[in-house]
Amino acid sequence: MLEGPESFGNFAGRASSKWRRFPEDVLPMHVAEMDLEVAEPIRRRLVEMVNNSDMGYLGPLPELAPAFKKFAKNRWNWEIDDQGIRLATDVGVAAVEILRKVAKPGDRVLINSPTYSSFFKWIAEVEMVPHDAPLVLRENRWSLNLDAIEEAFKAGVRVYLLCSPQNPVGTVHTREELSRVAELAAKYGALVVSDEIHAPLSWKPFTPFLSLGESANDHAVTITSTSKAWNTAGLKAGFLISQSSAIKDVMRSLPEAMNWRASLLGAFSMVEAYKNGENWLDETVKIIHENFTFLRFELAKQLPKAKFFDMSATYLAWLDLSAYGLDNLQGRLLQDGKVAVVSGPEHSHDGKYQDFIRFNFATSQTRISEAVRRMASVLEA
Ligand SMILES: Cc1ncc(COP(=O)(O)O)c(C=O)c1O
């Protein structure tokens, strides 16, 4: 295994999916886990709970609303409605249960490809159908196509799974774009399900959908968790937030099991992250932003024909490798280069993005450089 700087963990003995999916000689740059040490306040809280054998079911969690309220105000100047929070097993379960409640099998769900690959699995799980309004590339930034979104609403689509910020392109949608989405949702009576799990990892100003005023409150629910930004995905806890009485009523009618199926350790790690994890978060955003610049530099040096785009959040790079004209990119990089990435077509429902990959750069610069070197050994050969 390659060494990393001090802030990166010692991976030996880690058992998460990132370290088990592929053989040891493969560099895992695929799944969205960071190689950082988890924030000390979270680890301390978990150790206390484990030492106290405090591992029962998750009951009420009155600590979450004030902790998130303070964080959201401080970070995004968002005054949340603390009566609108509901715990969920994780973000995926929240999305699935909301879809099940507000739509029926066969209904269309609006997405913007390229988007998080599990969106397609969640939509399939509830027997619905994705309706794509693809992002468009403008000035090297992947952006929402507001006209295509309106066309979808006009065509009768009534639920919109928005990825904000957007995995895998790292776009932070602007306040103006999101305000227009809120206006359109109000005009056509649609519900926006805004997945904001990556929001704390933004280095440009992020706009929470529910900070946009009445139209947004009346037509949206936000689903989120600290599990991505504080790197605790295996702990299983998330929540949703709604801010109008009509949407709150719908969310109250979601299955109680969402709460029971969340983990006590995960729930308290969320409280700890919002209360005491902001310094760690600031440091992490700085590191991934530096890595973004480093990756751009490495690509220019080692893979000069790769196209890399502007990003404002997250550690997942979307790379266009079409200039190399290689079939089965992800398979070849894995087999011949011993680098695991996520294949482009997983980010659409219809096989688009064959020439793209998603590459996780939340690791040491040594490993980023080595992964790019291995990719170059396949692509530049
Ligand atoms: C946009 C987005 N939503 C949700 C998730 C997964 O969240 P959870 O593990 O809480 O279901 C991810 C994981 O990478 C993600 O990128």
Q: Residue 138: pLDDT above 50?
A: yes
Q: Residue 4: pLDDT above 60?
A: no
- Find out whether the beta carbon of 168 lies less than 6 Å from any atom of ligand 1: no
Q: Residue 368: pLDDT above 80?
A: yes
Per-residue pLDDT band at 11 (split at 50, 70, 90): confident
Q: What is the mean pLDDT of residues 173-201?
A: 98
Residue with tokens 């170059």: 376
Domain CATH code at residue 341: 3.90.1150.10
Q: Of 208, 242, 276, which closes a domain?
A: 276
Is residue 122 located within the same domain as residue 195? Answer: yes
Is residue 175 located within the same domain as residue 148? Answer: yes
Q: Residue 2: pLDDT above 70?
A: no
Rounded distance from Cα 378 to ligand 1 centre (Å): 30
Q: Residue 5: pLDDT above 60?
A: no
- Find out whether the beta carbon of 228 lies less than 6 Å from any atom of ligand 1: yes
What is the reported pLDDT for 192? 98
Per-residue pLDDT band at 10 (split at 50, 70, 90): low
Residue nearest to atom 13 of ligand 1 (CA): 32
Is residue 186 located within the same domain as residue 287? Answer: no
Q: Rounded to the nearest 5 degrees, what angle is found at the Cα of 246, between the Cα atoms of 178 and 238?
A: 65
Total domains in the chain come to 2
Answer yes or no: is 177 within a domain: yes
Per-residue pLDDT band at 3 (split at 50, 70, 90): very low
User: Helix, strand or coil for residue 86?
Assistant: strand
- Find out whether the beta carbon of 195 lies less than 6 Å from any atom of ligand 1: yes
Which of 249, 248, 216 has the alpha carbon at shortest distance from 78? Answer: 216
pLDDT tens readout for residues 238-280: 999 999 999 999 999 999 999 999 999 999 999 999 999 999 9
Determine how β-strand 307-308 pairs with β-strand 316-320: antiparallel
Q: Residue 1: pLDDT above 60?
A: no
- Find out whether the beta carbon of 171 lies less than 6 Å from any atom of ligand 1: no
Is residue 147 located within the same domain as residue 251? Answer: yes
Answer yes or no: is 9 within a domain: no
Per-residue tokens: 165: 């910020």
d(CA 158, CA 196) in angstroms, rounded, equals: 20
What is the reported pLDDT for 74? 98
Is residue 254 located within the same domain as residue 124? Answer: yes
Regarding predicted confidence, which is higher, 225 or 3?
A: 225
% of the chain surpassing 70 pLDDT: 97
Regarding predicted confidence, which is higher, 9 or 47?
A: 47
**CA-316 nearest atom, ligand 1:** 16
Is residue 245 located within the same domain as residue 337? Answer: no
pLDDT tens readout for residues 302-335: 999 999 999 999 999 999 999 999 999 999 999 9
Domain CATH code at residue 263: 3.40.640.10
- Find out whether the beta carbon of 116 lies less than 6 Å from any atom of ligand 1: yes
Is residue 183 located within the same domain as residue 74? Answer: yes
Q: Of 249, 276, 303, which closes a domain?
A: 276
Which of 97, 101, 166 has the alpha carbon at shortest distance from 136? Answer: 166
Is residue 177 located within the same domain as residue 255? Answer: yes
What is the reported pLDDT for 13? 79
Rounded distance from Cα 118 to ligand 1 centre (Å): 8
Is residue 79 located within the same domain as residue 191? Answer: yes
% of the chain surpassing 90 pLDDT: 94
Per-residue tokens: 241: 């937030």
What mean pLDDT, rounded, does the chain reach? 96
pLDDT tens readout for residues 22-54: 998 999 999 999 999 999 999 999 999 999 999
State how far the alpha carbon of 46 is from the alpha carbons of 43, 111, 173, 231, in Å: 5, 36, 34, 14
Range of the domain at 67: 56-276
d(CA 88, CA 209) in angstroms, rounded, equals: 19
Regarding predicted confidence, which is higher, 375 or 259?
A: 375
Is residue 235 located within the same domain as residue 144? Answer: yes
Is residue 83 located within the same domain as residue 222? Answer: yes
Q: Of 276, 299, 323, which closes a domain?
A: 276
